[in-house]
Amino acid sequence: MRRWGRDLFSFLVGPRWAVIITAVMAAVALVGVVLPQLPPWAVGDPASVRAWLGEQERRLGPATPWLWRLGLLDVFRTPWFAAGLGLMVASLLAYSLSRLPGLYASIFRPRKWPPDVYFDMAPHRVEGWGRADVVTLVRGLRRRLYRVEVRRDGSIAYLFADRFPWAQAGTLLAHVAVVVLVLAAAVGRAEAFSIPLMVAEGQARPVFPTPTHPRQMEVEVTGAWARFDAQGLPLQYAAELAIFRQGEEVARCRVTVNSPCQYGGYRFHLAAYFGFGAEVMVKEASSGRAIYHETVALQMQRPAPYLRAWEDGTGRLAYEGAVALGNPIVTAQGLTSSLALLSVAGRDWALVLREGKGEATLLIADAQNLSRAVTLAPGEGASLGGVRWELVEVQKAPAAEVADVPIPLGQGEGLLLQMSNVAYGTGNVSQGGRVAVAGGEGPPTLIVLGLGDRPITLQPGEAAVVGPYEYIFLGQRAFVGIEVRRDPSVNLVWAGAALLVLSLVLIFWLPRRRLWARLREDGVCIVGQGEASMDLRRELGPLLQRAGVFLQQEVEEDG
């Protein structure tokens, strides 16, 4: 039995085996990199596996089922890969263990009193004349953190001095660190995953794509907040999340970018914030039943001229706000024109915003007599038809085209939603874009174009009935980007990295030394053991001189 054990051990630590197993695992890992691998979120869910294999069949063809049966599409989770990895780890561990006895002896049972011939033949020695003061020498070595022992043999004194002997364990620790990091890589490759979700306030999203996933969870955003500076750049954003599993709430937490939520080994990181969503509901006016209820992301930025208009006679402010324009028409010269109809002071006005070559002008015309018109640049004002107009500026308002909203017969095929009076924010906070304030003070306003020839303006909670439908603006909502991550190898990576750093410190930073000294009447010989670059003469020269020794040239021999 002992012979079998010895044979097994020598097999595992053998260089031929190490080369074979390393080459095999490298080849297998290459297969795992070249061929598509089953994503971690599909593991354990037969429905997800079937769906994924169906996708792969389009790329890999009829060989897909065979590749799957051989485990080549999930290499890192196959039993044979685990076995190979286990053997490689066993080999590394065996090699590390094989060094233990020698290391133990070297650290705890060093040879303290070598024969005299050692002093004549050892590399790294320094010799000097004179009778050394042993007390001075011992005291000096101890001040240099050596542990010193003295033995006398007649008139000759032998010293053994040892400093940081346990630093030799650094190489062993480095091997263990490699083993831990290899395991971490394997575990991480097989189990780690990350899924991005974009969730609107008040809504939930499942973490895994298939509804029947055995670890399925849902993330609901119950609130979202953001803070911006005066230039509209984000300072901070946060969200409150509720985590559900099998229909029950299992966790609730507030997350920021640096403070994720944790549940069941999963971390929920806040990754993005988008502040311009509009929650819209459409009901059948007759029954009151909802037939549409969505939070629309207003990702476009549309020009919105901000106008003020006063009645010339009374000076009353008749209109102030950002105007929602229809879809732009692009001319052959690359200019765009966008139109709108506006009712001010009891009359209808046609507005045409022309943009191109970095400039914008607004043409305001009497809808009853289009020949009566003025053209304003931003900051300009003019009187027309008893109204004094001022184009304050052309703002950018968040907007979206929505095609699947129910629309009465005879209308178009989609709606344009534009939000006004929104707070400072950005198109995508996590990328640092900017959207200037659109509109003025007051609550966010949703402008709906496409239901009739006039835009419909709704404040939060307001509704408008058009034909058989009631359109309700429920309010501005934020979208929150959540990244769901799981990586069981994190702790292993930390442990491996810590071991590696510690081993490097022990190997390269701690000045390990072992000295043997022979002190005779006529001279001193000191032999040292340490790293190859040590300079005994420089290190011990001053101490030896204080002990009454005149130094010869340090002798170094090869081998």
Partner 1 sequence: MRRTVIPLLTVVAIAFTIWWLEYRPRGGGGEALDAYGPVDLPPALATPDKEVAPREGALAPDFLLPTLDGKTVRLSDLRGKGVVINFWATWCPPCRKEMPQLVAAYQRYRNEGLEVVAVNVGEPEDRVRQFAEEFGMRFTVALDKIGAVARTYSLLGLPTTFFVDRQGVIRIVHAGAFKEQKGGIGVQEAIGASELEEGILQILR
- Contact set with partner 1 (CB under 8 A): 3-4, 7-8, 11-12, 17, 47, 50-51, 79-80, 82-83, 86-87, 90, 203-206, 209-212, 214, 216, 218, 220, 244, 246-249, 281, 284, 287-294, 404, 406-413, 468
Residues 6 or more apart in contact with residue 379 via CB below 8 angstroms: 391, 392, 393
In this complex, which beta carbon is closest to partner 1, that of residue 287 or of residue 369?
Answer: 287
In this complex, which beta carbon is closest to partner 1, that of residue 343 or of residue 411?
Answer: 411
Q: How far is the CB of 65 from partner 1 (least distance, A)?
A: 18
Residues 101 and 108 sit within 8 Å (Cβ to Cβ): no
In this complex, which beta carbon is closest to partner 1, that of residue 287 or of residue 371?
Answer: 287
CB atoms < 10 A from the CB of 545, how many?
13
Q: Is 557 helix (H, G, I), strand (E, B) or coil?
A: coil
At residue 34's C-alpha, the angle toward residues 32 and 37, to 5°, is 50
> What are the contacts of 345-353 at 24+ separation with CB within 8 A?
345/309, 345/311, 345/318, 345/319, 345/386, 345/387, 347/385, 347/387, 349/387, 351/305, 351/323, 351/325, 353/303, 353/305, 353/325, 353/394
Q: Is 298 helix (H, G, I), strand (E, B) or coil?
A: coil
In this complex, which beta carbon is closest to partner 1, that of residue 412 or of residue 542?
Answer: 412
CB atoms < 10 A from the CB of 214, how many?
11
Q: How far is the CB of 19 from partner 1 (least distance, A)?
A: 14
Residues 218 and 207 sit within 8 Å (Cβ to Cβ): yes
How far apart (Å, rounded) are the C-alpha atoms in residues 45 and 48?
5
In this complex, which beta carbon is closest to partner 1, that of residue 50 or of residue 538?
Answer: 50
Q: How far is the CB of 31 from partner 1 (least distance, A)?
A: 19
In this complex, which beta carbon is closest to partner 1, that of residue 50 or of residue 151?
Answer: 50
CA distances from 500 to 92, 99, 171, 532 (A): 15, 18, 9, 22
Q: How far is the CB of 194 from partner 1 (least distance, A)?
A: 20
How far apart (Å, rounded) are the C-alpha atoms in residues 353 and 541?
89
Q: How far is the CB of 162 from partner 1 (least distance, A)?
A: 39
Residues 307 and 389 sit within 8 Å (Cβ to Cβ): yes
Q: How far is the CB of 78 from partner 1 (least distance, A)?
A: 10
Question: Where do we find the tokens 């899924």?
Answer: 195
In this complex, which beta carbon is closest to partner 1, that of residue 103 or of residue 291?
Answer: 291
Q: How far is the CB of 219 from partner 1 (least distance, A)?
A: 9
CB atoms < 10 A from the CB of 538, how many?
10
In this complex, which beta carbon is closest to partner 1, that of residue 211 or of residue 334?
Answer: 211
In this complex, which beta carbon is closest to partner 1, that of residue 5 or of residue 154?
Answer: 5
Q: How far is the CB of 519 from partner 1 (least distance, A)?
A: 53
Q: Is 130 helix (H, G, I), strand (E, B) or coil?
A: coil
Residues 6 or more apart in contact with residue 112 via CB below 8 angstroms: 149, 151, 160, 516
In this complex, which beta carbon is closest to partner 1, that of residue 261 or of residue 397?
Answer: 261
How far apart (Å, rounded) are the C-alpha atoms in residues 419 and 434?
15
Q: How far is the CB of 214 from partner 1 (least distance, A)?
A: 7
Q: How far is the CB of 242 from partner 1 (least distance, A)?
A: 9
